[in-house]
Amino acid sequence: MLEGFATIIVKELKELIRDPKILVGMIVLPLIIFPVLGLVLGYAVESAQEQAQRATLLVVNNDGGNWSQTFIDYVNRTMNVAVISDKNPKQVVSQNLLSDYNSTQFVEIPVGFSQNMTQHTSGNPTITALVNVYGVFQGGGILSNIGSTGFISAVNSFNRAVAPDVVYTTQSTVIKGEIQQGVAPTTLSGLLISQSIALPTTLMIMLTYAMQIAATSVAMEKEEKTLETLLTMPVDRFAILMGKLSSTIIVAGVASIAVLFGYNYMLGSITLGIPTAGSVDLVALGLVPSALGYALLGISLFITLLSALALAVIMSAFSENVRGAQALVGYLYPLIYVPALALIYLDINTLPLALKAILFAIPYSQPIIASKSVVLGDYTTVIIGIIYVAAFTLVIMYVASRLFATEKILTAKLRFKRRKSKKA
């Protein structure tokens, strides 16, 4: 054994364990984030499954034969089925029949279904029957299609019971009220998974980094002992705060633009990267944000960053040095990580109201919600989010300005010192 090794390792462990930054970053945060995330995802998956079971499958029976009725009865054993007839898919969409039946997907059994079934079961296996499946695109996360696979399972089960491969399905998607023939909702979701992951991940990194910079700017003044001098200069305290925030706002603005460029390039790459035959063009499908969408997304990103920076400045005012400020800012990370990771998997629109309210209330969720909403052209949600974060930011800025205007900017440190000395 190396001489002195044990002594060194004991000392190192003591230093590491007693460092709040290590405690928070490596032990406390994972202990909080992952269980919370597990609870959120578990609850969301459970409720999505329940919702899928409760949801109605609208069947448009344009065939009217015996086999179509048998097929409907079979599906009805596992799903809530509502049946209508004599409607073409465009009429179903344009007449809002889906919302009338509280459904997000419908199936058309076309004319000739029963005849084809009869021929197939009478010894002509080359003839198959077709059903057309239409799913409504809802944006969403990785788990957002959890309910849409139910019907395909029912068809597979029907085939196993009647004859192998007798019923085939075509899949199409209803996007913004338009039917996109041959674009399967699952294919689309697969393509948009990268979108669901990329922005939240980038945002997590960007917010964490920006908050560290902002916290450091005040903490550095304390650590280098320049703040006291600065506060006695003939300059408005609010000007000091705004000067500090403005420099980080500029960084935040540049960061927002960089994110938007990267995000736009990524969406373009998805379209361009897929071979032409059978490809899905997100631009042609209208699943890339419009200019207004990008502008709103940019505002949402910027204002969220601003609010995070202001909060970081406040937190850092309570620390004595850079290391302390970084540790304090670390306490805010669950508010960034939990909604970002949750929204990678979930579509906020399909969540139960309580969970939806909680995620919406966390300001750092807003750009992620906005990124999904602008794709769907739901600008109202984005604007409400921007107004909410703006109000939150104003409150934070007011608190920060009060903090700078009073002696608390210095005495917060004094209190910590006193507590330590009492303990000693």
Partner 1 sequence: MTLAVKAKSVVKQFGNIRALDELSFLIKHGEIYGLIGPNGAGKTTTLRIICTLLLPTSGSIRVFGLDPVTQAKEVRKIISYLPEEAGAYPNLSGKEYLEFMAKFNTKNQNELRKSITEAAKISGLNERLRDKAKTYSKGMKRRLLVARALMTRPRLAVLDEPASGLDVLHAYHVREIIKTYVKEHDVTVLLSSHNMLEVDYLCDRVALLDKGKIVVEGKPDELKQTYKSENLEEVFAKVVGYA
- Closest by CA to 335, choosing from 313, 306, 366, 314, is 366
Total residues binding partner 1 (CB under 8 A): 18
- Select from 161, 233, 291, 424 the one that contacts partner 1 (CB under 8 A): 233
- Do residues 58 and 96 make contact, with C-beta atoms less than 8 angstroms apart? no
Distance CA 231, CA 398 (A): 18
Measured in whole angstroms, the distance separating CA 369 from the mean position of its chain's CA atoms is 6
Helices 237-273, 291-317: axis angle to 10 degrees equals: 140
Binding residue for partner 1, selected from 234, 273, 275, 278, defined by CB under 8 A: 234
Of 30, 236, 395, 398, the one binding partner 1 by CB under 8 A:
236
Nearest to 270 by CA among 257, 261, 283, 289: 283
- Between 214 and 260, name the residue whose CB sits nearer to partner 1: 214
Q: Which of 232, 276, 277, 278 binds partner 1 (CB under 8 A)?
A: 232
Pick the piece of the chain touching partner 1 (CB under 8 A) from 107-115, 172-180, 187-195, 409-417: 409-417
Q: Which of 235, 292, 394, 399 binds partner 1 (CB under 8 A)?
A: 235
Contact of 167 with 180, CB cutoff 8 Å: no
Cβ atoms within 10 Å of 91's Cβ, excluding its own: 12
Nearer to partner 1, 165 or 224 (CB): 224
Whose Cβ is closer to partner 1: residue 176's or residue 323's?
Answer: 323
Residue 279: CB minimum distance to partner 1, A? 52
How remote is the C-alpha of 101 from its chain's centroid? 28
d(CA 61, CA 107): 8
Out of 7, 122, 126, 229, point to the residue binding partner 1 (CB under 8 A).
229
Nearest distance from C-beta of residue 227 to partner 1, angstroms: 9
> Running DSSP on this structure, what letter comes out for residue 145?
T
Taking 3-state DSSP, the helix, strand and coil percentages for the chain, each rounded to the nearest 5, stand at 70, 10, 25
Structure tokens at 207: 């917010």
Nearest distance in Å: CB 231, partner 1: 6
**Binding of partner 1 at residue 225 (CB under 8 A)?**
yes
Distances from the Cα of 64 to the Cαs of 58, 68, 102, 223, in angstroms?
15, 6, 23, 80
CB nearer to partner 1: give 391 or 414.
414
CB nearer to partner 1: pick between 54 and 418: 418
Shortest approach of partner 1 to residue 226 CB, angstroms? 5
* Least gap, CB of 250 to partner 1 (angstroms): 18
Which range binds partner 1 by CB under 8 A, 48-56, 370-378, 380-388, 407-415? 407-415
Q: DSSP letter at 81?
A: E
Question: What's the CA dihedral at 145, 148, 152, 153 to 10 degrees?
Answer: 80
Q: Within a 10 A sphere around the Cβ of 66, how many other Cβ atoms? A: 11
Q: Which stretch binds partner 1 (CB under 8 A): 88-96, 160-168, 220-228, 258-266?
A: 220-228
Q: Shortest Cβ distance from residue 309 to partner 1 (Å)?
A: 20
Does 414 participate in binding partner 1 (rule CB under 8 A)?
yes
Residue 226 engages partner 1 in binding (rule: CB under 8 A): yes
Residues engaged in binding partner 1 (CB under 8 A):
224-226, 228-229, 231-236, 406-407, 410-411, 414-415, 418
